[in-house]
Amino acid sequence: MTLVFELDPDQPTEQLCYTFGGSAPVFELPQRTLLRTWTLDCFAGRVRTVEDRPSVVCDPRYLNPQTGPFFVPGASPGDTLAVHLVSLKPRENWGVSTTVPLFGALTSTGLTATLQPPLPELTWIYRLDNRQGLAHFTARESGNELALPMNPMHGTLGVAPSLGEARSSLTPGSWGGNMDTPELRAGVTAYFGVNVAGAAMSLGDGHARQGEGETCGVAIECSMNTTLMVDVIPGSYVAWPRLESDTHLMTTGSSRPLEDAFRIAHTEMVHWIADLLELTTMDAYQLVSQLAESPIANVVDTAYTAVCKIPKALIGDPVAMSGTHRRLRRLSP
Amino acid sequence: MTLVFELDPDQPTEQLCYTFGGSAPVFELPQRTLLRTWTLDCFAGRVRTVEDRPSVVCDPRYLNPQTGPFFVPGASPGDTLAVHLVSLKPRENWGVSTTVPLFGALTSTGLTATLQPPLPELTWIYRLDNRQGLAHFTARESGNELALPMNPMHGTLGVAPSLGEARSSLTPGSWGGNMDTPELRAGVTAYFGVNVAGAAMSLGDGHARQGEGETCGVAIECSMNTTLMVDVIPGSYVAWPRLESDTHLMTTGSSRPLEDAFRIAHTEMVHWIADLLELTTMDAYQLVSQLAESPIANVVDTAYTAVCKIPKALIGDPVAMSGTHRRLRRLSP
Amino acid sequence: MTLVFELDPDQPTEQLCYTFGGSAPVFELPQRTLLRTWTLDCFAGRVRTVEDRPSVVCDPRYLNPQTGPFFVPGASPGDTLAVHLVSLKPRENWGVSTTVPLFGALTSTGLTATLQPPLPELTWIYRLDNRQGLAHFTARESGNELALPMNPMHGTLGVAPSLGEARSSLTPGSWGGNMDTPELRAGVTAYFGVNVAGAAMSLGDGHARQGEGETCGVAIECSMNTTLMVDVIPGSYVAWPRLESDTHLMTTGSSRPLEDAFRIAHTEMVHWIADLLELTTMDAYQLVSQLAESPIANVVDTAYTAVCKIPKALIGDPVAMSGTHRRLRRLSP
Amino acid sequence: MTLVFELDPDQPTEQLCYTFGGSAPVFELPQRTLLRTWTLDCFAGRVRTVEDRPSVVCDPRYLNPQTGPFFVPGASPGDTLAVHLVSLKPRENWGVSTTVPLFGALTSTGLTATLQPPLPELTWIYRLDNRQGLAHFTARESGNELALPMNPMHGTLGVAPSLGEARSSLTPGSWGGNMDTPELRAGVTAYFGVNVAGAAMSLGDGHARQGEGETCGVAIECSMNTTLMVDVIPGSYVAWPRLESDTHLMTTGSSRPLEDAFRIAHTEMVHWIADLLELTTMDAYQLVSQLAESPIANVVDTAYTAVCKIPKALIGDPVAMSGTHRRLRRLSP
């Protein structure tokens, strides 16, 4: 059985949510059932030509719309929700990136506040060739063109946070949210600690491609056709989102300064590896120190995100998270 | 006329709130009307003896209870709410401080994560002599006793945040919240940008005294009898909380790392001074650089808070914020 | 006896040093002997009118010249050097402040690098009225004038660092250096751990006045006539600079991010208070948390500096650092 | 012609240096001439068994010994020095890692100071199988064994810094130094701005393998047989170290907090790409945002290091740095 949650393309705004937490579920999504749905781009489709500027055409209250939240029967506080991304396909033949005034890693911002004027606000439209898997870059102020391999991902995926909070979909944290890591691609399972009955999972912010760090603050944004399947690991709560692919175990941390995001991801990995390999904390600390790949996810959101990756093959390919990734992979088409 | 908002001392929990935003107003508070109310301490009164430890007797979901939110008729998004603190009196003859595992400035935390074990969890009870204005410290593990001058303040005061967020009362930000600055004392007016109709102001976290930085994460916590008066400055929105006393203009910034909190507070002050003295930004930058007092507020909450203070006398005692502080001061008993 | 170390006003550059460590001593300064000397301003006197811009008239290799280093007979690695500032008097009737491209707290810099252009480079000349103790501000781009109380201080004071390093006089650290705290004023004793025989103390960067944080990166810079006296506390090594006035004990920390500077200063203070009052670490942690004043020193240098202050009167006025401050105070005119 | 610079294995300490800058050259190394040399491990070979602890057997003044400095005739301030690593082979059949008290990413340190006790100090000895390219891990407190692929690299490589500074070999910065990036491996060319005549290049800190971030602060340390060749690009000065492999252009930044290291590396890359592809800054900003790989190098040294990598193939394989990498590659055996 495949469920379909369809946005009304003419009036999607009513069905969307802009916070993790604080929104009523729009759809019931049973465990281990394939869901086909789609997401709008982070500008809700309002930036379509190089003449469109986000500060003019977008309302800051309605940026980064999320599809959901989905109510997962059986998911209770204290459990872990697994979300397996089966496939991600850009929905249109174009994507968009921009600079946004006082947003991004190489500019002052509302938090890293300076007295300097903002950088120019520019829009780039990418032609997406979904058959060849290429995103075509055209420089705005120069003559260059380049073909970049697509690497579709969701910038945003998560559940309702703890402590009764409702957090903007522009922010990442322990509930997931706007982590903006290219690791969140098809074939990957994401794990989140459940804080409210039904988990209240939502997703959005599709990227045809994104550099690590999302330096200018905006990836190649596109609406996305996504197929996924969820599962619940009862009585086990991950404090911070984890990811698992066929080849890697991954932990994430989101905070400021960036070294704190790193510290979170790496302490989580040390404890995870200690559990999986039955090592003491110190032995696991040593092993992670020699094995970790440490790509930065984003240095632009209100919290920064760091990822710690461990190649499964180097640690004996252990069965992690009750084998949930393998199970969902097997159940998926 | 003086309004009174009384908590039921036997069953206060139902009336309290634990987030800024996301809670229904409990009381209507007209502009320029004296309000007498009181607040529980940050542990909701559950830590009463040196044997009580927060991690045992408190539920993390119900820490730092706020009195409110108050609905201020006439306060609309885009306005500024002024809250003038008329008087703060510790309600009991005792206060409490503790260490809390993995919380505080001189320990690793959930965000500055390390593999080290937490520091011991200890409780100190202070005898408060409200007549003499002294808080009596008794060392827990040594024989010393010291009498510290009281300096009553609210660690937490704020309004509903923007973007539909609901934020834990443990966190400070652009809406105010848990700023933990000793500057928030009687005689001071705090200004907040209004994000929702009625502003949804709440307050709590009374401190008989607190060092700048709130180093161990916990001040001399006490329930507080507080008298205050609010006013609204229509059509003027402060992006970050400001404070005004008879002697100082103050701006605040809350973020991580701490230099970003500093940058926010100081850019806000540069722009404020430029407005008040009709200076260019660069001239105001120069003047603030030579005049600023820069006390740290907290380095322990999920965002850190810095304050920038300018002595009014040195800049010709300008009329700030439409004279609201002066007006509320005059209207107060 | 009063020693005098005079710079040749026509050819001072040869006698000056630009690093802590790595320079040969220029003068022998016995313990407990009054020294009269003077220091150039941080621009070596090259910025004299509002038309002079540092980036044009200064060589970056010769910024912030230091008078010294002084060789203190008897000071050995592992000791602590005490430097008591007896008096500081601006030497001229003018001071200067500027903005410097990509330097300061409210601009991107070479380390907090962005793609934004620098702020304008402007110079302000202050008339110093040494008799009335006033520094007269004249706005550059507006008509305002203001009289600011002077508060003379040295931005830079320190010794040779450890590990054989030579550090630019533009940087603060465990050896002191460019801490830029207004607390370093007449009447104060500064303590530094000695790393090389003779300590190699030097000083410079006089400020007629500076705001806390030194926000634009430049105080009211002036050449300074300074009288001081040094002493040595044998066999006792302070890891980070400490300051002592008649009223306060102070610790400093210099690092990035700013919270690390805070953490250094406050852990140092906790251990110092524990020693002085014979408290356990946890009792001292508690006490510092309620007593600390935490002014920021600088948020502009290659390391940021934070200060922790404890009022002596509130802790029983203990004799600190072997009574060195009191002794030097008594020996001074 | 191949030059050989041999350390006397019985008395190496005299020939080594412990700072970048401030040391006299020990060997003249002409441009485009193959050099065979070797480096001690960061503990100078003093930690050899699991019983040896760095805090006991090492003198902190003599940690991380560097081979050099080498004087490169023709290298002048304002030039760029290219150092091409031809081959790196662990010299022994063992490597060592440890924890070090109050050093590492997942512990408080002297700068991120807390009141917590340090983690245990443990030593791990790795058997290095140089033929199979494997480093054999044996857990200290558990029974596990794992074979890890070797990936030999130099943690430390650089030149004398600017401003007359001498910097400890434990610190990275604009002069290179202790960057601790696994990207510094055989086949890679590193570029450094020259600050003193002859450049004063030195290298050390060989790692048989290191995780990104060097989480516990210590890689699989080993003495290293290294072959390299240098070249000079006259009249061109790179502000921060760059790396080039056959497949990637790389920039580095070293600072705190970690986001500043990221900002440095990414602004450097934006300007480099703008130059190479003749793009405007904004177009290059956009391109880097979609192309960057952003591995963390170290989060443990006194400055943290971040790397920005761009795949050459995706940007048309431009000739960078006057073709120096290609030339040195061709000249190497």
Q: What is the pLDDT of residues D261-301, one digit of tens each?
A: 999 999 999 999 999 999 999 999 999 999 999 999 999 99
pLDDT band at C143 (very low <50, low <70, confident <90, very high): confident
> What's the mean pLDDT when you consider all of chain A?
97
Q: Between chains, do A292 and D215 touch, taking CB under 8 Å as contact?
A: yes
Cα separation, D250 vs D242, whole angstroms: 6
Nearest to A282 among D141, D219, D282 (CB): D141
**Structure token digits, residue D146:** 């794992």
pLDDT digits (tens, 9 = 90+) for B183-234: 999 999 999 999 999 999 999 999 999 999 999 999 999 999 999 999 999 9
pLDDT at B194: 98
pLDDT band at residue D143 under the 50/70/90 scheme: confident
Nearest in space to C78 (alpha carbons), one of C197, C191, C232, C237: C237
Residue-level pLDDT at B13: 67
Q: What is the pTM of this model?
A: 0.98
C281: three-class secondary structure by DSSP:
helix
Task: Assign 3-class secondary structure to B122-188.
Answer: CEEEEEEECCCCEEEEECCCCCCEEEEECCCEEEEEECCCCCCCEEECCCEECCEECCCCCCCECCC
- Annotate C228-263 with b (16+ C-beta within 10 A) or e (fewer): bbbbbbeeeebbbbbbbbeebbbbbbbbbbbbbbbb
* Residues in Cβ contact with A276 at an 8 Å cutoff, skipping those fewer than 6 apart: A249, A315, A318, A320
DSSP B283: H
Instruction: Give the count of alpha carbons within 13 A of D222, CB side only.
Output: 28
Using the predicted structure, report yes or no on whether residue D13 has a pLDDT greater than 70: no
Best D108, D112, D263 member to test B by mutation, with max B CBs in 10 Å, is: D108
Question: For C182-220, how does the pLDDT look when each residue is reduced to its tens digit (9 = 90+)?
Answer: 999 999 999 999 999 999 999 999 999 999 999 999 999
Which whole number is the average pLDDT over A29-58? 97
Cβ-Cβ contacts under 8 Å, C109 against chain A: none
- Model confidence at D69: pLDDT above 90: yes
ipTM of the complex: 0.98
The whole-number pLDDT of residue D40 equals 96
The percent of residues above 70 in pLDDT, for chain C, comes to 99
Burial class (CB in 10 A: 0-12, 13-18, 19+), D10: exposed
Question: Of the candidates B113, B257, B264, which has its C-beta nearest A264's C-beta?
Answer: B113
| Residue in D210, D282, D314 closest to A99 by CB | D282
- Distance in angstroms (rounded) separating the CA atoms of residues A33 and A228: 8
For the segment C64-95, what is each residue's pLDDT rounded down to a tens digit?
999 999 999 999 999 999 999 999 999 999 99
Q: What is the mean pLDDT of each run of 10 residues along chain B (333 residues)?
A: 86 82 96 97 97 95 96 98 98 98 98 98 98 98 94 98 97 98 98 98 98 98 98 98 98 98 98 98 98 98 97 98 98 93
pLDDT at residue A243, as a whole number: 98
Q: How far away is chain A from the Cα of C211, in angstroms, using its nearest Cα?
A: 18
Contacts of A267 in chain D (CB under 8 A): 106
Residues of C whose CB is below 8 A from B106: 263, 266-267, 270, 285
**Dihedral, CA of residue A284, residue A287, residue A293 and residue A294, to nearest 10:** 50
- Digit-coded pLDDT (tens) for C229-281: 999 999 999 999 999 999 999 999 999 999 999 999 999 999 999 999 999 99
- C-alpha neighbours within 13 Å on the C-beta side of residue C272: 33
- CB contacts, 8 Å: A264 with chain B: 110-111, 113
Assess contact for B306 and B172: CB atoms under 8 A: no
Rounded Cα distance, C72 and C49, in Å: 38
Contacts of B120 in chain C (CB under 8 A): 282
Cβ–Cβ < 8 Å for B219, B210: yes
CA-nearest residue to D215 within chain A is A289
Interchain pair D108, B116: CB under 8 A: yes
Name B111's bridge partners.
none
- pLDDT tier at C13 (50, 70, 90 boundaries)? low
Residue A192 half-sphere exposure, CB side, CA atoms within 13 Å?
Answer: 32
Smallest Cα distance from A114 to chain C, Å: 4
- Report the share of chain D in percent with pLDDT over 90: 95
pLDDT, mean of residues A256-268 = 98
Q: What pLDDT shows up at residue C12? A: 61
Instruction: Identify the structural domains of chain C with CATH numbers, from first to last.
Output: 2-233 (2.60.120.580), 242-320 (3.10.28.20)
Residue D292 has which token pair? 């960057």
- Rounded Cα–Cα distance for residues B224 and D133 (Å): 68
B33/B332 Cα distance (integer angstroms)? 9
Q: How confident is the model at residue C224 (pLDDT cuts 50, 70, 90)?
A: very high
Q: Give pLDDT, residue C8.
A: 80
Rounded to an integer, the average pLDDT of D218-242 is 98
Per-residue model confidence as pLDDT tens digits over C45-68: 999 999 999 999 999 999 999 999
Q: State the best of A100, A109, A116, A263 to mutate against chain C, taking most chain C CBs within 10 Å.
A: A116
Query: Angle formed by the axes of helices A258-277 and A281-291, to 10°?
Result: 120
In this model, does residue C324 exceed pLDDT 80? Answer: yes
Q: Closest Cα of chain D to A204: distance in Å? A: 18
Amino acid at the residue C180: D
pLDDT value at position B15? 78
Mean pLDDT for the stretch of residues A18-46: 97
Distance between CA D35 and CA D226 in Å, rounded? 8
In terms of Cβ atoms closer than 10 Å to its own Cβ (0-12, 13-18, 19+), residue B278 is middle
C-beta separation of D263 from C112 below 8 A: yes
What is the pLDDT averaged over residues D185-200? 98
**Of residues B255, B270, B282, nearest to A111 (C-beta):** B255
The pair phi, psi for residue A6, each rounded to 5°, is: -105, 130
**Mean pLDDT (chain C, rounded):** 97
Length of chain C equals 333
Query: Most C CBs within 10 Å: which of B268, B296, B299, as the mutation test of the C interface?
Result: B296
Indicate whether A13 pLDDT > 70: no
Determine which of C103, C108, C141 to mutate to test the interface with A (most A C-beta atoms within 10 Å): C108
